[in-house]
Amino acid sequence: MKEYPPRGTVIAVTMPQIPLYIPNEVCATVGASPSTPPDQCMKQVLVAVAQDGVSAPKDADIAGLRQVVADAKQKGIDLKVVVVPQNPPIDTPLRDIATEVGHAYPGSTVLVISPIWAGTYSTTYDRVTLEAGQDVAKTAGNPTQAAKNFVSQLQTPLFPWTTLTIVLVVVVAIATVLTRVLQVRGRRSAKPVESPKPSEPAPERTA
């Protein structure tokens, strides 16, 4: 007979982790053949990033990217940049590449750039900030400017939409309550006041 845990027992359920998808396009980053297994190319990316924070094709502005990484370090940002010269079908694999680099170098903030996409990973910055950085990075036109824009966006305070939303909800709630109170008071004041009935004349006495 199957035994069940006692009532009130909390059972931890672990969701299976979705495996990372490393695209073949990453092999162009390290100058490897497209037929090379992506995992092998990814290992070369990790080695390159360990040296100076940059993994990019030989024809990229590697010196400029290294300078962006150095400038970011001066600002307290452990930046890693990976340049993928060819676009994968969607942008999700770029985030997977960034995630693998981030796992290999804990505490780092990773930017992966392709001609029209960008992917990021960081345990220092929240996803909203990273998404804003991606937006300015993928429209820059070249990897060096993209990395500069990304770092700049990380240091730009975002508008506190959450706080504004909470304030608006509170204001609307208060306005609703006040409106209701005024309506109730208005109804009470609008009730007609009954005028006193005229007294009947006393009967006349007869002599």
- The 10s digit of each residue's pLDDT in 65-91 is 999 999 999 999 999 999 999 999 999
Q: Is residue 115 part of a domain?
A: yes
Q: Is residue 203 part of a domain?
A: no
CA 36 from centroid of its chain's CA atoms = 33
Specify the length of the chain in residues.
207
pLDDT classification of 12: cutoffs 50, 70, 90? very low
Across the chain, mean pLDDT equals: 84
pLDDT at 203: 60
Enter the pTM of the model: 0.70
* 188-207 per-residue burial string, b: 16 or more CB within 10 A, e: under 16: eeeeeeeeeeeeeeeeeeee
Domain with 95, as residue range(s), is 24-154
Give me the CATH number covering residue 149. 3.10.310
Q: Is residue 107 part of a domain?
A: yes
Q: Provide the number of structural domains found in the chain.
A: 1
Q: Is residue 5 part of a domain?
A: no
pLDDT tens-digit series, residues 40-63? 999 999 999 999 999 999 999 999
The whole-number average pLDDT for the span 15-40 is 86
Q: Are 118 and 146 in contact (CB under 8 A)?
A: yes
**Residue that wins the pLDDT comparison between 109 and 202:** 109
Q: Is residue 168 part of a domain?
A: no
**Residue that wins the pLDDT comparison between 92 and 202:** 92
Q: Are 19 and 98 in contact (CB under 8 A)?
A: no
Amino acid identity, position 51: Q
pLDDT tens-digit series, residues 192-203? 555 555 556 656
pLDDT at residue 204 greater than cutoff 70: no
What is the rounded distance in angstroms from the CA atom of residue 202 to the CA atom of residue 153? Answer: 94
pLDDT tens-digit series, residues 144-194? 999 999 999 999 875 455 666 777 787 787 878 878 777 777 776 665 555
